[in-house]
């Protein structure tokens, strides 16, 4: 379970991160938007670097920017542990993925709900992770789009355990189970965590629902 910092209280960023650490999250998801690739602006390098200074949690940076190739080196230097960028963005995706790997961070490609899996198929050898979007990127609190489940299943069948699969958008107590069953292992949640008073409880509930469905799936496989 990875909380998306998009919906946290930025006036109390350090306190929010401490609450998330206490709640038992395994990593933080940072949504970087440039107001061009998506119609929203969030934050960039200084915030990623500031978060790096105050926590040891792995930082999973999701770049929703038009020219990821021009910025990835700086995000690596700012302390990212994993970087996802979009296949719909500009640039040579294969070159960007290889550059990320050569810098020792997890290299990940993200795709939007309308983008077919075929668009990233030739890149999978260069990926450590795929970020399957279950909403159009830009805003939190949107409804989960089921098209993500079919993509997750096909990726899991094709790649086995070789690829990490992450799902982002509309993940909550009602949808996380099907995501786990479809093969996702990293779940990004914004409103399902920050909409609750007790982060610990929502993180535990979501993690248990995900684990329960994964266990059910593994049993079916046997």
Contact residue for Zn ion among 168, 192, 207, 213 (CB under 5 A) = 168
Name the residue with the smallest CB distance to ligand DX5.
190
Contact residue for ligand DX5 among 55, 94, 115, 142 (CB under 6 A) = 142
Q: Which is nearer to ligand DX5, 67 or 98 (CB)?
A: 67
* Residue 31 annotated among the catalytic residues of the structure: yes
Contact residue for ligand DX5 among 189, 203, 209, 210 (CB under 6 A) = 189
Looking at the chain, list the stretches that DSSP marks H as alpha helix, in order from N- to C-terminal side.
13-23, 45-54, 72-78, 93-102, 147-159, 176-182, 191-194, 199-221
Which residue among 9, 168, 198, 218 is the active-site one? 168
Tokens coding 19: 């609450």
Backbone angles phi, psi at 34, to 5 degrees: -110, 5
* Shortest Cβ 191–ligand DX5 spacing (Å): 3
Name 32's bridge partners: 63
Q: Which residue has the tokens 């990835």?
A: 72
What gap in Å lies between CA 103 and CA 52, rounded to an integer? 17
Q: Which residue has the tokens 């983008």?
A: 115
DSSP string, 55-104: --S-EEEEEE-S-GGGTHHHHHHHT-SEEEEETTSSS-HHHHHHHHHHTT
Q: Which is nearer to ligand DX5, 173 or 215 (CB)?
A: 173
State the number of binding residues for ligand DX5 (CB under 6 A): 21
Contact residue for ligand DX5 among 167, 188, 203, 210 (CB under 6 A) = 188
Q: What does the CA dihedral 157, 159, 164, 168 come to, rounded to 10 degrees?
A: -50
From 166, 172, 132, select the one nearest 151 (Cα to Cα): 132
* Shortest Cβ 162–ligand DX5 spacing (Å): 24
What gap in Å lies between CA 107 and CA 124, rounded to an integer? 10
* Residue 9 annotated among the catalytic residues of the structure: no
Q: Does 20 bind ligand DX5 (CB under 6 A)?
A: no
Residue 72 binding result from Zn ion, ligand DX5, none, given CB thresholds of 5 to 8 Å by partner type: none
Contact residue for ligand DX5 among 62, 86, 151, 156 (CB under 6 A) = 62
Q: Does 4 bind ligand DX5 (CB under 6 A)?
A: yes
* Shortest Cβ 221–Zn ion spacing (Å): 29
Q: Does 67 bind ligand DX5 (CB under 6 A)?
A: no
User: Residue numbers of the site for ligand DX5 (CB under 6 A)?
Assistant: 4, 6, 29, 31, 62, 135, 137-142, 168-171, 188-192
Residues that bind Zn ion (CB under 5 A): 31, 62, 168
The catalytic residue positions are 31, 168
């Amino acid at each position: 379970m990875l909380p998306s910092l998009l919906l946290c209280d930025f006036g109390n960023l350090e306190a929010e991160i401490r609450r998330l650490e206490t709640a038992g999250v395994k990593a933080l998801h940072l949504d970087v938007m440039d107001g061009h690739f998506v119609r929203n602006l969030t934050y960039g390098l200084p915030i990623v670097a500031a978060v790096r200074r105050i926590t040891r949690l792995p930082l999973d940076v999701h770049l929703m920017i038009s020219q990821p190739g021009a910025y990835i080196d700086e995000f690596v230097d700012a302390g990212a542990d994993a970087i996802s960028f979009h296949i719909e963005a500009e640039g040579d995706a294969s070159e960007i993925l290889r550059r990320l790997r050569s810098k020792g961070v997890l290299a990940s490609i993200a795709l939007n709900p309308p983008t077919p899996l075929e668009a990233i198929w030739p890149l999978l050898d260069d990926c450590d992770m795929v970020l399957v979007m279950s909403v159009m990127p830009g805003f939190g609190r949107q409804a989960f789009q089921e098209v993500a489940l079919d993509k997750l299943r096909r990726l899991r069948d094709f790649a086995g355990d070789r690829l990490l699969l992450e799902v982002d958008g509309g993940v909550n107590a009602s949808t996380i189970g099907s995501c786990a069953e479809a093969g996702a292992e990293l779940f990004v949640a914004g409103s399902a965590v920050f909409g609750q008073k007790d982060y610990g409880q929502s993180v535990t509930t979501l993690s248990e629902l995900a684990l329960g469905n994964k266990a059910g799936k593994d049993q079916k496989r046997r």
